[in-house]
Each structure stands twice: as C-alpha cells, then as structure tokens.
Amino acid sequence: MTPLLSVRDLRVSFPITRRGSWPWTPPQQLHAVNGVSFDLMAGQVLGIVGESGCGKSTLARALIQMLPAKGEVIWQGQTDLLSLTPREMLKYRSDIQMVFQDPLAALNPRMTVGEIIAEPLRTHRPEMGAEARREKVREVMARVGLLPNQINRYPHEFSGGQCQRIGIARALVVEPKLLICDEPVSALDVSIQAQVINLLDDLRRDLGLTVVFIAHDLSVVKHISDQVMVLYLGRMMEHAEARALFAEPRHPYSQALLSAVPVPDPKIERAKQVIGLEGELPSPMDPPSGCPFRTRCPRAEDLCAQSRPEPQGEGHQVACHFPGVLQPIE
C-alpha cells in the first residue's frame, strides 16, 4: 500500500553569521532538521514530540515548502514536493493545510470570521460563487463547533479555543487530505486542549483526514496518534506505533519524557520511576559528537561519543547504541 506521504532524509539548515566575524568568513550552518525519514499512511495520525528547539515546527514547515529543505517529500508515491516550483506547488496547497500554534496571531484581525474561512476558497475554488462560498463556510463552522450567526464577527471577539476552531475551519474548508497541526493546543488551557484534541480526533475519523500533530508533551498526543516520533536536536530518536512506544519506550530520551507525564492513579504515580534530565539542550550550532543525546543520557558510554547511532528496527525504530525498556508506562 502506497503511503500518502513519504519523507526521506529531510534536512533543513540555516546559515548563521557570528557577530564580529570577518566579512569573508563563511557562515556556520545550523542544522535544525537533520536526516528525518518516515512514512505516513492515509487516515493515520503521526504525533511528533520533543523539547522546544528540537526542530518540530521547522520540520512541519519544510513539508509544505514554507522553508527551503533538502531530501525528498513524496506525495502519494508520485510527486516530490521539494522539487516543485512555487507555481507548481500551488495545486497541492489545497490537499495539504496547516493549523498554527498561536490561534489569534494566525488570523487577520481586519477580516470577519466568514472572510477568513472563505479566503482559501477564493484561491483554490475560484469558480465557486459567493452564495456557495457562504454556504460552505457556514457548513464548516458548524462542523468545528462554531455558531453560524458568528460569521460576521472579528477574531478579537472570540476566546483562544474559539480562535483555534476558526483556524481549523479555515484549513478544512478546501477539504484537504493532510492536516499539519503545529502545536495547536500549547497556547490553550488544559480543559480547552482536551476539547480541541477531541474535535481533531472526531474530524479525522469523520472526514478520513491524515494528520501530523506536533506537541512538546507526550500526554497530548497519546490519545490521538497512531504512531509517534520523538525528535531531539533535529534527529529522530524513536519512532513506533503509539501503543508500543507508550507501553515500552526504548530510548532514554523517550523514557524521560514519558516519566514526566502525570498518571491519574495516585498509587502508580508514587510508584513510577521519574527520570530527571540533567543539563540543558545543547546548541544546534555546536552539537555533541556522536549521539546528540549523550551529554544528558544516563546510559552514555565512550561509544556514544565516538559514533552516532542510526535508527534501527522495523516497526519500532530506535537511534541508540544501548536501547532497552526501563518500565512499562500505563
């Protein structure tokens, strides 16, 4: 079966010129995403997690040519999106839509909700008449939990959760096949986060959507994802089906992230082993030799400094010289 999206050796770098350097000194390269590969089947949800600065948002933007990247992003087994010109990419924009992190900042404050949601239709469905657009906008507003009589209001009249629903409606109005959600709940209260996650889960089931869901908290992606990928300094540390990764995390970084997730059962919460990560995330300008996680890893040995581990395994991939199961996480 052909994946809807196949990513091979995706790399994103930014040239950085240090202050005070000579004009002829070549800029140093900051490798924000460094050799990430994965397959995503139609109808699946891929959760991407990691600390801030690990390259999650950069990866999402590179998938849709918002940032220059190297590698391959194969759409439906046929087209490499990274090889397309901006004009050629335009016809794929309606199939791949994005929901951004800050719901209010992503909306034009001078446009009404109806105008914001209808804007993609004017671009990708120019043959659609004004009345048909308005009817489509009302339909998608009702689907995401907004009232049709709010169509003429402005973004500042809505709460953060409602603004995110507007952003989701704007992405869904052109009926995309792939929805990329870049930390869509990180700016919302916990109760509102649950509502938005449940909404996205219902939408992907009802509409057959494929979703890339980015978050820095593993507990956020637990109930929506079919597979989970853990990033660290732009590299994939672990990639597996969600159930397998949550039950038996094999990379020390995944285990540390999972140990920090609160468990509602007091007995399990008191009994579980919490793994504290020492030190700060290294600078991507000067990453550690060998394994990028070795400076904070409790299992690090000399081999970790000498060679970088490549992802190994068929269904459950782990980039670690000494992978192992610490303890099951309920």
Q: Are residues 223 and 297 in the same domain?
A: yes
From CA 318, how far away is CA 240, in angstroms rounded? 9
**8-state DSSP, 74:** E
Structure tokens at 96: 């791949």
CATH code of residue 277: 3.40.50.300
Same-domain pairing of 53 and 133: no
What tens digit of pLDDT does each residue of 8-49 get? 999 999 988 877 777 778 888 899 999 999 999 999 999 999
Number of domains within the chain: 2
Q: What's residue 219's pLDDT?
A: 79
- Examine the domain organization and report whether 238 and 188 are in the same domain: yes
List the structure tokens of 155.
């973004």
Residue 242, CA atoms < 13 Å, CB-side half-sphere: 17
**pLDDT tens digits, one per residue of 163-199:** 999 999 999 999 999 999 999 988 788 888 889 999 9
- Distance, CA of 246 to CA of 255 (rounded, Å): 9
CB 319 within 8 A of CB 236: yes
Pairing of strands 210-214, 317-318: unpaired
Same domain membership, residue 90 and residue 145: no
Beta strand 5-16 with 178-182: parallel, antiparallel or unpaired? Answer: unpaired
- CA-to-CA distance for 99 and 117, rounded, in angstroms? 12
The pLDDT > 90 percentage for the chain reads 67
Dihedral of the alpha carbons of 181, 123, 82, 167, in degrees to the nearest 10: -10
Q: Please spell the DSSP secondary structure of 195-255, one letter per residue.
A: HHHHHHHHHHHHHT-EEEEE-S-HHHHTTT-SEEEEEETTEEEEEEEHHHHHHS--SHHHH
Instruction: Assess whether 88 and 197 both reside in one domain.
Output: yes
- Of the three residues 174, 200, 218, the one that is the final residue of a domain is 174
For residues 34 and 132, membership in a common domain is answered with no
Residues 6+ apart with CB under 8 A from 64: 81, 93, 96, 98, 180
Report yes or no: 120 and 174 within 8 Å, Cβ to Cβ. Answer: yes
Indicate the angle between helix axes 190-207 and 160-172, nearest 10 degrees.
20
Query: Is residue 46 a contact partner of residue 254, using CB atoms and an 8 Å limit?
Result: no
Asked whether residue 254 falls in the same domain as residue 310, the answer is yes
Domain assignment present for 80: yes
Cα distance between the two ends of the chain: 32
Residue 324 belongs to a domain: no
Strand order in the sheet with 178-182: 96-99, 178-182, 210-214, 45-49, 227-232, 235-241, 317-318
Q: Is residue 139 part of a domain?
A: yes
Give the sign of the dihedral formed by CA 90, CA 94, CA 96, CA 101: positive
**Are 189 and 207 in a shared domain?**
yes
Which residue stretches of the chain are H helix? 56-63, 86-93, 113-124, 130-143, 160-172, 190-207, 218-221, 242-247, 252-259, 266-271, 302-306
- Neighbouring CB atoms inside 10 A of 12's CB total 21
pTM, to two decimals: 0.90
CA angle centred on 70, ends 55 and 24, rounded to 5°: 90
Same domain, 219 and 313: yes
- Residues 67, 182 share a domain: yes
Q: What is the pLDDT of residues 62-118, one digit of tens each?
A: 999 999 999 999 999 999 999 999 999 998 999 999 999 888 888 999 999 999 999
| Same domain? 273 vs 136 | no
Range of the domain at 215: 5-15+28-95+176-318
Q: Is 69 exposed, middle or buried (0-12, 13-18, 19+ CB in 10 A)?
A: buried
The reply to whether 106 falls in a domain is no
Residue 327 lies in a domain: no
Question: 327: pLDDT confidence band, cut at 50, 70 and 90?
Answer: very low
Return the pLDDT at 330.
Answer: 41
Of how many residues is the chain composed?
330
196 and 165, same structural domain? no
Radius of gyration of the chain (CA): 21
Write down which residue in 156, 174, 192 finishes a domain.
Answer: 174
- What was the pLDDT predicted at 328? 42
